[in-house]
């Protein structure tokens, strides 16, 4: 089985096989570099994202209520896009590895945000609730699809980053 549901199952299986004997095969370092843009009227932040097939420039601009112009997606848009893309791709990959053919897989995310912490008005969580709804069209049984969804929740890297404590280090370099 080479490709199912636009997932290269053979490549995934090969990676798993290699990682069973060499744990480094399951690791990756992701680096993104960017710069805050000081010119008014455009995006506020621009970064270069490198990936296997090349690189792209991504830009963001805060919404107006957070001091931006709303000219580009805000940072939380990218965060939520990453979450829903990661969750959906984890589901699709697991379904494919389990031999489940999908006719259609769609996803919807809704996040309830409270920016009072950002404004220094409270210590309440910024992310109050995030809901992801997958809609699947497949001949597989509901039980099988629920099993895949449970595994996707358990194995999705973005879900892990939101639900588990992750070590975060920050630093500041000052130029004068």
Which strand (E) or helix (H) includes residue 21?
helix 9-21
Q: Is 3 exposed, middle or buried (0-12, 13-18, 19+ CB in 10 A)?
A: exposed
pLDDT tens digits, one per residue of 51-65: 999 999 999 999 999
Which strand (E) or helix (H) includes residue 146?
helix 142-155
Decide: pTM greater than 0.85: yes
Q: Is 12 exposed, middle or buried (0-12, 13-18, 19+ CB in 10 A)?
A: middle
Q: In whole angstroms, what is the distance from residue 7 CA to residue 12 CA?
A: 8
- Give the orientation angle of helix 142-155 with respect to helix 75-97, to 10 degrees: 130
CB 144 within 8 A of CB 100: yes
Phi/psi of residue 175, each to 5°?
A: -110, 135
Q: What is the mean pLDDT of residues 87-103?
A: 98
pLDDT tier at 70, thresholds 50, 70, 90? very high
At residue 50, does pLDDT exceed 80? yes
- Which SS3 state, helix, strand or coil, does residue 111 take? strand
In 58-120, alpha helices (H): 75-97
Q: Partners of 4 in the beta sheet?
A: 7
Strand 7-8, strand 32-36: pairing: unpaired
What is the percentage of the chain residues whose pLDDT exceeds 70? 99
* Greatest CA separation for the chain: 64
pLDDT tier at 163, thresholds 50, 70, 90? very high
Distance (Å) of CA 110 to CA 41, 79, 116, 133: 29, 12, 19, 9
Token pair belonging to 39? 């010119």
pLDDT tier at 37, thresholds 50, 70, 90? very high
pLDDT reported for residue 1 = 59
pLDDT tens digits, one per residue of 130-153: 999 999 999 999 999 999 999 999
For the chain, domain boundaries:
43-73, 74-165
Q: Where are the beta strands (DSSP E) in 61-149?
A: 102-113, 127-138
CATH superfamily of 74-165: K homology (KH) domain (3.30.300.20)
């Amino acid at each position: 089985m080479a490709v199912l549901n636009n997932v290269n199952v053979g490549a995934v299986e090969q990676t798993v096989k290699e990682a069973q004997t060499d744990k480094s095969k399951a690791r990756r370092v992701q680096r993104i570099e960017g710069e805050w843009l000081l010119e008014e009227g455009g995006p506020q932040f621009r970064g270069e994202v490198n990936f296997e097939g090349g690189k792209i420039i991504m830009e963001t601009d805060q919404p107006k209520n957070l001091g931006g112009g709303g000219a580009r997606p805000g940072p939380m848009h990218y965060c939520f896009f990453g979450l829903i893309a990661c969750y959906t791709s984890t589901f699709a990959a697991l379904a494919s590895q389990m031999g489940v053919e999908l006719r259609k897989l769609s996803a919807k995310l809704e996040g309830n945000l409270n920016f009072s912490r950002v404004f220094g008005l409270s210590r309440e969580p910024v992310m109050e609730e995030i809901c992801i709804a997958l809609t699947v069209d497949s001949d597989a049984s509901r039980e099988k699809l629920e099993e895949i969804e449970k595994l996707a929740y358990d194995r999705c890297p973005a879900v892990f980053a939101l639900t588990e404590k992750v070590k975060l280090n920050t630093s500041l370099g000052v130029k004068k």
